[in-house]
A and B are shown apart, each in its own frame.
Chain A
Amino acid sequence: GDSVTQMEGPVTLSEEAFLTINCTYTATGYPSLFWYVQYPGEGLQLLLKATKADDKGSNKGFEATYRKETTSFHLEKGSVQVSDSAVYFCALRGISSGSARQLTFGSGTQLTVLP
C-alpha cells in the first residue's frame, strides 16, 4: 500500500536559517503530494501541494518539488521565522485511495525556531 516516510524530528533552528524537511513516498502511479502544517493547539492546514512530476508547490516562502525519479517531496524554506514553529506533515493521495480519496500521512516533523 501507499506510505510516506518523513524526516524524524524534532528540528531546532535559529531564526533566518535554511530549512529542509525530507519526505519520500511509496505509491502506485502518480499520487498527488501535500504538505500540511499544524500550529500548536490547532488542526492541520494545507501548506502546499503538487499533482505531477516536476511540479513545484509554494506558499508563505515554503517550497517543495515533486520528484518522480527519487519519489521525494522535500520541504524547503530559505529563511525561517519564529512563527514557523509547528509540526509539518507530508501526505499523499494515491490511486489506491479509491472512492475514499483519503490521505496517507507521514509521522510529522516538529520544527522549533529560536529567536
Chain B
Amino acid sequence: NAGVTQTPKFRVLKTGQSMTLLCAQDMNHEYMYWYRQDPGMGLRLIHYSVGEGTTAKGEVPDGYNVSRLKKQNFLLGLESAAPSQTSVYFCASSYLGGTSLNEQFFGPGTRLTVL
C-alpha cells in the first residue's frame, strides 16, 4: 500500500515551458487535492476533485489545469510556466465516508523551480 505518490520529485523549467505533475493514490479515495506550499504562507488549494471525471477550482487556480480521468490519478498541468509558480506542490486525497472528519493523506511533494 503506497498511499499517495507524486511524480516527479524535482523539476526545473524555463519560463513558458509546460509540464504535468502526476498524483496517484491506491486507497480508493473519492476526493483528491492539489496544494502549493510557499515560504511563510502555508498550503493553498489550487484545484480539487470530488470524484472521477470532476474537477473544481480552489483558492489559487490561475495558470493551472487539472484532470481526473481515473479515480486513482489526479494530474496538475502548467501550460506556460512562470517564475511565480516556483513552489512545492502537494497532492492529497481523502475518503468520503459517513463521518465529516475525512483525514487528508498527503504525498511527498514535488519541488518545482521556474527560471
Contact = CB atoms under 8 A, between A and B. Distances in A.
A100 B45 contact: yes
Interface in A70-97: 89, 93
Interface residues of B, number: 25
Interface stretch (A14-22, A38-46, A61-69): A38-46
A89 B40 CA distance: 11
A107 B42 contact: yes
Interface residues of A, number: 23
A51 B101 contact: yes
Contacts of B106: 36, 43-45
Given A43-B4, A102-B33, 9 more contacts: A32-B101, A41-B108, A43-B108, A44-B43, A44-B90, A44-B92, A46-B103, A100-B48, A106-B42
22 contacts: A4-B42, A6-B42, A32-B100, A42-B108, A43-B106, A43-B108, A44-B106, A46-B103, A51-B101, A89-B42, A93-B100, A99-B50, A100-B50, A100-B58, A101-B31, A101-B100, A102-B33, A102-B48, A102-B58, A103-B104, A105-B42, A107-B42
